[in-house]
Structure formats: C-alpha cells, structure tokens
Structure 1
Amino acid sequence: MADDVARSGCSAGRRDHGRLQNLFRTTAFKLSFAYLLIFTTFAFLALGYVAWNASRVLDDQMVSTIEAEISGLSEQYKSGGLRRLISVVERRAGEPGASLYLVTTPAGEHVAGNVGALPAGLLAEPGQTEAAYARGGSSSLDHRAIMRIFTLPGGFRLVVGRDVEERDRLRSVIGGTFGTSLLLVILLGVVGGWFVASRVLKRVDAMTETTRRIMAGDLGGRLAVAGNGDELDRLARNLNEMLERIGELMRGLREVSDNIAHDLKTPLTRLRNRADEALRSPASAADLRLAMEGVIEDSDGLIRVFNALLMIARLEGVSAHELMAEFDVGTTAREVGELYEAVAADEGLSLDIVTTGDLRLMGSRELIGQALANLIDNAVKYGAMKESVPNRDGGCIRISAERIGCAIRVVVADRGPGIPAEARGRVLDRFVRLEDARSRPGFGLGLSLVAAIVRLHQGTLVLNDNAPGLAVVVTLPALAVGDPA
C-alpha cells in the first residue's frame, strides 16, 4: 500500500514536472518572457535616467548656490577687506541650514567658518571639487560636500560648499524605489506570463487531444472554438473546415468504392458470361468473332469508365494555372455542337447554337470542350426519350453562350424528362444514376467530370428546370474586355 502511494506520488510529480516543462516551452511563455525582458530594460533605463537627472539637477542647484555665495562674499571682501569677510562668514556660518564656509591662512590654519577639517593638500588645488570634510568642532572626515576653493590676495583661502547629504539621501530613496519597482515588474511579468501561457497551453492541449482522437479514427471530432476571435480560434475554424473537407472526401471515397463495386459488377459479369458462353457452346468462327466483338465493346466501356475516373482525380489534384491559355468559349461551343449535329439528327433532334459578346477566358480549351461534349451528349441521350415526355413541344437542344458582366454563362438546355429538384445535387457525384436513366447506356460519370472541370476553372455549375427538360448553367470567369492574351 505504501509503495502504491509512493508510486502514485512520483507519477503525479512527473506529470506536474512535465506540465511545467511544457509551459516553459510554449510560444506564449517565451513571448511573455521576451516582452518582460524588453519592458524591464526600458523601465531600468527610464528609472535610471530619472535618478541621474534628479542628481544632476541637485548638483547644478548646489553649484549655482555656491557661485552665488562666492560672488556675494567677493563683494564683501572688496568693500571691507579680510576683516569684513571674516565677519560675514562667521555670521552666515551660524545660521540654520547654512552653507559650508571656511577661511584659512596661507598656511592652512583655521580663521573662520563652520568646517572643522579638510583632507590634506586639498587647499592647494583651487577650483571646484567634491571631497570629504569634518564639521566644526570635529576632526572626523565623515561628511561629503561640493566645494569651491578660492585664493584671496595675500594667500588666504576661502572655501564655500554645500553638503551632499540631501543628494545622497535622494539617491538612496530613488535606488530603493528603483529596485522595488523592477522587482515588482519582474514578479508581475512572470505571473502574467505564467497565466497567459497556462491558458494558451490548456487550449493547445485540448486541440492536441482532439487531433489525437481524429488520428485514431474519430473523423467526426472537431476543435473547440472559444468564440473570442483570436488566432487560435481562426486556426481552429480553418482546421475544422479542413476536417469537414477531408470527411467529405472520405465519404466520397467510400461512396465511389461502393458505386464501383455495384455499377461495374454488372458489365464485368456480362463480360465474363460472354467469354464463358463462347468457350462452352459450339460455335462457328462468325459466332466466336461476334462474341469477341461484344467482349471488346464491354472492355472499351470499362476502359472509358476508368479513364473518366482518372481524369476526375487529375482535375481535382492540379492547379488551373498549369493549363492556362486564352481561348474563345463561343468558338469551342460551336465546334463541339457541330460534331453532335449528326448524332442529334439521328435521334430526331435539332441543335440550336447561339453565342454573343466577348467570350474569351483563361483556361483549358480541351477540358472546356470535354465538358460541353458531355453536356451535349447527355442532352441528346435524354432529349430523345420521347416516351418520358409525351407532349413535349419539339426536339430542340439549345446551346447558348453569353457574357454577363465579368462572367461567361454557358447553357445547355434539352426538352427531356429533366431531373427532380431534390436529386440535382446528388447527380453531380460519381456513379449516381437516377432510376429513369438506368435503362440508358452510361455509368453516371459525365456530370461528375463536368463539375470537376468547372471547379478547376473557378466556375459554378447549376442544374435548372427547363419545363420540361433540364437546363445546365455553367458560369466561368471571363477575361476583361480589351485584356491581352
């Protein structure tokens, strides 16, 4: 029992240590630490400048006071000589808060003033200096002052100064405040960085856990969105959209696999039965040739199916920029329509092709031609189903291409049975065929291929009711009028 408790404690300690390490490794903590370092540096420089400037101002004030004192005493000396100077010094030295005064003989002996002693040799260096001194009645040099040493006629010395105790006290106060402020800034920065990083780490851990479930097979998992619009929310939304797209592709892959298994089973079975029948039954060379022709025809149909699937896969995996070239959609529509005129006439149908305006676009002429061929082929195939629409008004297939603003709209409309509104989105998927169309040849890949080509060209594909019949509307981005190739 004690061992279990110890192991549990060790495991908890390792988890806490691991979380702490992860916290220190987070970008949020590193950024917070960097901001803290920058802010602390600026705070150090700002407070240091304030302290230096305050000290300099005090020094300037003391120097100005000393200069004013010396100027006044010089006037006294000029008007009354040494005796007058000593009298004034004695009087000023006894006032509360007085400056420092000292008058000495050429030999350095004390004559008047409130300064008890100075460092040896200091009086021999006239000018301004900062040095230690002893107050009157003391010989201990335990105070400091800014002084100006002035040599009088006859070798006498006049010393005027100001004690720097007030300045040092201010420096001490500023230094203490400086250290406390920096410590407080660092403490608040560390706590703030820990708080921000822990919140970010918590969200990242939740996102990581969700991605682990997704990688384990739960494709329905989605990243949580806090709703505050920050960068993690934007990342989560984009990843969720990506997961939705991946889910759609996976569902489409499963559906394609199922459809391939169902829709190709019949032609493969028919192909095998024909070959088996030709081998088992006694037949002439003509019968065998006829059977082989049927096998080849079925094989060609299967090859066309796989070619269409490969083309759809390639279209969904390439960029339109790889196929870009300028061409006229109207010319392509007329050329493809002319190829189907004879086929339509055999079915008792007519083709009406109308193109107007500047119909230039950047794209693949071959792919757009393939898409138009698929649409016209479907229109001929289903437009000829007279039994489906007994009272239709003629058998005309209308192909129109016109420019509308910055887009080109191509419409292929027939007078066939049409597609119910609830099934129009579904028929764009691979291998989807409606019940009415199962008696017609085909595998349900024509509209899927058209949709892939239109998506590649950044266009839209819409199926509308032609009352009766179907109108397929393809909208593609056009070149601006006057643009060069």
Structure 2
Amino acid sequence: MTALLERVAKAASTTAFGLSAAAVAFFLLAAAIVVGFLFWQTNNLLTNQVLGVLTAEARIMASEMKAGGRPKLAETVSAMSRLQGAGLYYLSDENGVKIAGNLNRIPPELVENARGGVFNYQPAGEAGNAHAHLAVAIPVELGPEVRLIVGRDIEDQRAFADSIRVAFLLGFGILSVAGLIGGLAVSRLILNRMDAITATSRSIIDGDLTRRIPTSGGNGELDKLAGNLNEMLDRIEGLMSGLREVSDNIAHDLKTPINRLRNSAEAALRDPRGAEAYREGLERTIEKSDELIKTFNALLLIARLEAGPLEDSVETFDLGRFVEDVTELYMPAAEEAGFALSIEAEKGVCVRANRQLIGQAVANLIDNAIKYSRAGEPGSAITVRAYRQNGRPAFSVGDHGPGIAAEDRERALKRFVRLEASRTQPGTGLGLSLVAAVARLHHGEVRLEDNHPGLKVVVLLSGKCLTSVLPGGVSTPSDVAAGDAAQ
C-alpha cells in the first residue's frame, strides 16, 4: 500500500498531471458556466410561462366580475377550484370572509406584498406532516367589494430544478474524479517513458554509446522526440568512432612522417659533405613539412565544416560552368599523367553554396581520380559531370581505375582511411572525407558508385536556390586549385 501511495504521489507531482488537472479544472469551469446559463434560461422560461398563465386567468376573472358581478365571479372561482389542476384561488369579501377557492387563507407572504410572490402551502387532502408545496400567486384588482388571489402550484418546476441541480453536481463530481484518474494515468504513462529515457541517458553517460531510447512504434510527440534523440546519439557515436579511428590512424600517418623528418635532419647533420648535405637536408625537411602542414590544414578544414553551416559565405552560381572551370585547370595535369579528362556540364544548374568549398570538393575528386587510376590502359578516361538529378544539383567524377569494393565504400568516406594497404601512394586519406564534409555542410550527400569499371563519386547538393536566373560570368576558381589541402 505504501509503494502504491508513493507511485501515486510521484505521478501527481509531474508536470503532465498538473497540466491534466488544469485542463480538467478549465473544462469544469466552462461546463459550470454553460450549465448555469442553461439553468437560468430554463428558470426564466418556466417563470414567464407561469406568469403568463396567471395574467390570462386574472383577465378572465375580471371579465366575469364585470359581466355578472360577485355571484358570477364566485361561481367561476368555485368551478375552477374543483378542477384537478395546479390552479390556486382565494376569493373573499371586503371584510376578509372567504367566499370561494381552494386556498384556506391568504398566504402570509402575500399579505404585505401587493404585487404577489412565492409562498408555501399545504394542499387540501394531504396529511399535516406532508411536504409543503411551492406556489406563486398574484392579486387581481376587482374593486373594493372583493379580494381575489390567483396562483399556480410550481412544485413540479421546483422538482425539475432540483433534479437538474443534482445531475449537475453529480456530473461534476464524476468528471472531476475521472479527470484526476485520467491525469494520473497520463502522467504515469509519460513518467514511464521519461524513466526509460533517463535510464538510457544514464547508461550512455556511463559509457555505453550503443544504447538507444525505446519507442512505442507510434507517431506521437514522445516518439518524435525519442527519434530525434536517437539520431543525435547515432551522430555522437559516429563522431566518437571517427575520433577513435583518427587517433589510430594518426599514429601511422603523422607519427611516421615526423619520425622520418627527424631522421632526415639527423642524417644531414652526420653527412660528412657539410654545407651541401645540410642544404639538401633542409630542402627535404621543408618538403616533408609542407606535406604535414597540408594534412593539418585538411583536418582543420574538415573540423570547421563539421562545426556548422557558413551562411555568410554562400552565393548563387551556375554549377555547370563552375565545375567546367575547375576541370579545365586539371587538364594539363591529367594529360601529363596519361589520362583523357572530359567534362559534361549542363548550363543553368542553379546552386546556392560556398563557391570555394564546392571547388575544393571537385578538385579533390579529380586529383584522386588521376592519382589512383591506371594510365595508358584502354578506356583510361576521367569524366567530370555537372547536372540536375531529381531536381537537385549534382556533380560527379568517374574513372576507370580499380574502384572501391561495395563493403568498403562507407568506410572510405571517413578520415585517414586509405584502402591501399601498402600506402605507397602519396596522400593522407582525407580527400573523400573532406568531400563528404562539404556535402553535409550543403545538406547533401556523397554516393560511391560502380563506373563499370572504376569508381564514380556522385555529390548531391541541396535543391534550394534563390533564383533561376544566373549571372553570365563565373569567376575562375584558381584559388581553389592552388589551395588544395586534402590530398
């Protein structure tokens, strides 16, 4: 019993119960106003109906008095008093002696009220301890010779009003209890969901990043909240996994070049040739340092992209013409490496993005295609395309190299991942990672597809664009190619 009371007290202290109780109180207040208004209107209707009947009877009595005098009036009152109805009458002479009627006396409530009113009376034929009836009566002005009181029994109306009052109170009581029980049930349900979220959060705090908040399978607000939180947890787990992977790869991709840099400097110092050896050693040191600086610049750029959107640096431009300009910068390098670099760019593909970052992504993909494709073989061509796919601007770079196996494509987009086991080719494994970061920044995605043979990298961007009318000129992104830091 104590545990049950504790659970009820805990549920009653929740915000959900407070909101439910407030909603029930507001509903009861609104219902009270509506029912009170209806009761008031009903009472007015019944009162006006009774007063209308009394006024009509008073006119009849006045007509009888005018037509036949007091005898005729007395006969009419006696006849109406014998009827089994709700009419009440009292006719007396100028001295107060009763002449006719079914009331024994003038009600005390009407003695001092010349306009009539409500009174209690004991119906004839009922026992003395019977319930007194409620009635209303008005005096009828017929001259100084007689005094006439005309009334109606309104006990039925009072019983009706009492039944409405009882039903009103009973209904309010039931609604109040049902509302409180419903509030407790709702708060308990929400409390159970909150307890599940709290338990999951505690497990995650303790280090279990694989835990997720359970959902009921519906489409309610709590399920939407749980879904958003689970997506956030997936993102956090991915970032933590990427951080661990980066840490593991840094040991190989950065520690080894730094050790080689140190060994090269030490070897130069020990070289007996003197100044000539020192100069060669410094030149090699500068070259290796530049490679390390490019690696760190790429890491900083990726971190900057993943930190959030750069709304202040976006602009609207023609993606096709821009990609064509970037590709033209790489044609000499491709021809020197033995590749045929072709461009298929649709004009008028509107995109709103950061021009430099899009150029960086295109340059990285072209440089990767040149680096990892096989030159001199039949079909050794690299194709760069800019087009619109399902209403979204896109660009792609396809080659006829070894490609990437389907099971390795998702991993290839992560930082420091190099699928070449020997790592004899120069590079840091940050090129595709930077392209993926650029795509995420622009609310897009990167797809690695089979080019039959080779690899085709497709970058889909957001379809939002402020205008479809683009300026005629697009600046050449030479600064992008010169600033390539992801290879």
1:443 matched residue in structure 2 = 428
Q: Secondary structure at the match of 1:353?
A: strand
2:406 matched residue in structure 1 = 421
Q: CA separation of 1:152/1:241 partners in 2, compared to 1, >3 Å: closer, same or farther? A: same
- 1:178 and 2:162 correspond: no
1:122 Cα shift? 4.2
Give the distance between the partners of 1:413 and 1:135, measured in 2 at CA. 108
Q: Is the 8 A contact 1:101 1:113 kept in 2?
A: yes
Give the distance between the partners of 1:231 and 1:480, measured in 2 at CA. 33
1:335 Cα shift? 3.1
- 1:242 and 2:232 correspond: yes
Q: CA separation of 1:477/1:275 partners in 2, compared to 1, >3 Å: closer, same or farther? A: same
Give the distance between the partners of 2:5 and 2:109, measured in 1 at CA. 66
2:146 matched residue in structure 1 = 156
1:110 matched residue in structure 2 = 98
1:342 matched residue in structure 2 = 332
Q: Which of 300, 304, 307 matches 2:290?
A: 300
2:480 matched residue in structure 1 = none
1:270 Cα shift? 0.5
Q: CA separation of 1:350/1:167 partners in 2, compared to 1, >3 Å: closer, same or farther? A: closer
TM-score by length of 2: 0.85
Q: CA separation of 1:336/1:83 partners in 2, compared to 1, >3 Å: closer, same or farther? A: closer
> Map of 1:27-38 to 2, 5 A cutoff?
27-38=15-26
Moved more, 24-33 or 269-278: 24-33
1:291 matched residue in structure 2 = 281
Give the distance between the partners of 2:6 and 2:149, measured in 1 at CA. 70
1:215 matched residue in structure 2 = 205
Give the distance between the partners of 2:429 and 2:412, measured in 1 at CA. 8
Give the distance between the partners of 1:354 and 1:134, measured in 2 at CA. 108
1:130 matched residue in structure 2 = 118
- The residue type paired with residue 438 of structure 2 is I
Give the distance between the partners of 1:139 and 1:199, measured in 2 at CA. 60
1:418 Cα shift? 2.9
1:483 matched residue in structure 2 = 469
> Map of 1:53-92 to 2, 5 A cutoff?
53-92=41-80
Deviations 1:223-267 (A, max 9, x none): 111123322122222211221121111111111111112221210
1:26 matched residue in structure 2 = 14
Give the distance between the partners of 1:48 and 1:312, measured in 2 at CA. 69
- 1:326 and 2:327 correspond: no
Give the distance between the partners of 1:238 and 1:290, measured in 2 at CA. 57
Q: CA separation of 1:143/1:420 partners in 2, compared to 1, >3 Å: closer, same or farther? A: closer
Identity of aligned residues (%): 42
Give the distance between the partners of 1:121 and 1:231, measured in 2 at CA. 65
Give the distance between the partners of 1:314 and 1:99, measured in 2 at CA. 95
Give the distance between the partners of 1:347 and 1:82, measured in 2 at CA. 136
Q: CA separation of 1:76/1:213 partners in 2, compared to 1, >3 Å: closer, same or farther? A: same
Q: CA separation of 1:373/1:484 partners in 2, compared to 1, >3 Å: closer, same or farther? A: closer
Give the distance between the partners of 1:275 and 1:25, measured in 2 at CA. 71
- CA-atom RMSD in angstroms: 3.1
2:366 matched residue in structure 1 = 376
List alignment gaps of at least 5 residues for structure 2: 472-487
Give the distance between the partners of 1:139 and 1:103, measured in 2 at CA. 24
1:273 matched residue in structure 2 = 263
Q: CA separation of 1:396/1:90 partners in 2, compared to 1, >3 Å: closer, same or farther? A: closer
Q: CA separation of 1:414/1:92 partners in 2, compared to 1, >3 Å: closer, same or farther? A: closer
Q: CA separation of 1:62/1:253 partners in 2, compared to 1, >3 Å: closer, same or farther? A: same
1:352 matched residue in structure 2 = 342
Q: Which of 153, 158, 166 matches 2:156?
A: 166
Give the distance between the partners of 1:377 and 1:407, measured in 2 at CA. 25
1:316 matched residue in structure 2 = 306
Q: CA separation of 1:123/1:109 partners in 2, compared to 1, >3 Å: closer, same or farther? A: farther
Q: Secondary structure at the match of 2:407?
A: helix
1:304 Cα shift? 0.7
Q: Secondary structure at the match of 2:219?
A: coil
Q: Which of 398, 401, 406 matches 2:383?
A: 398
1:194 Cα shift? 1.4
Q: Is the 8 A contact 2:86 2:153 kept in 1?
A: no
1:319 Cα shift? 1.3
Deviations 1:60-94 (A, max 9, x none): 34323323332333333233211222233234334
- The residue type paired with residue 26 of structure 2 is I
Give the distance between the partners of 2:386 and 2:69, measured in 1 at CA. 117
Give the distance between the partners of 1:363 and 1:299, measured in 2 at CA. 32
1:209 Cα shift? 1.5
Q: CA separation of 1:135/1:107 partners in 2, compared to 1, >3 Å: closer, same or farther? A: farther
Q: Secondary structure at the match of 1:115?
A: coil
Deviations 1:180-239 (A, max 9, x none): 222122112111221222122122212211111112211111111112332212222221
- The residue type paired with residue 332 of structure 1 is F
Q: Secondary structure at the match of 2:469?
A: coil
1:318 Cα shift? 2.2
* Larger RCO (CA under 8 A, 6+ residues apart): 2
Q: Secondary structure at the match of 1:152?
A: coil
1:377 Cα shift? 1.5
Deviations 1:401-426 (A, max 9, x none): 34456344433233433333332332
Q: Secondary structure at the match of 2:461?
A: strand
Q: Is the 8 A contact 1:127 1:148 kept in 2?
A: yes
Moved more, 347-356 or 131-140: 131-140
Moved more, 224-233 or 397-406: 397-406
Moved more, 298-307 or 194-203: 194-203
1:342 Cα shift? 3.2
1:294 Cα shift? 1.4
Moved more, 114-123 or 28-37: 114-123
Give the distance between the partners of 1:421 and 1:119, measured in 2 at CA. 104
Q: Secondary structure at the match of 1:461?
A: strand
Give the distance between the partners of 1:333 and 1:96, measured in 2 at CA. 104
Give the distance between the partners of 1:328 and 1:154, measured in 2 at CA. 109
Q: CA separation of 1:96/1:381 partners in 2, compared to 1, >3 Å: closer, same or farther? A: closer
Q: Which of 409, 415, 422 matches 1:430?
A: 415
Give the distance between the partners of 1:336 and 1:438, measured in 2 at CA. 28
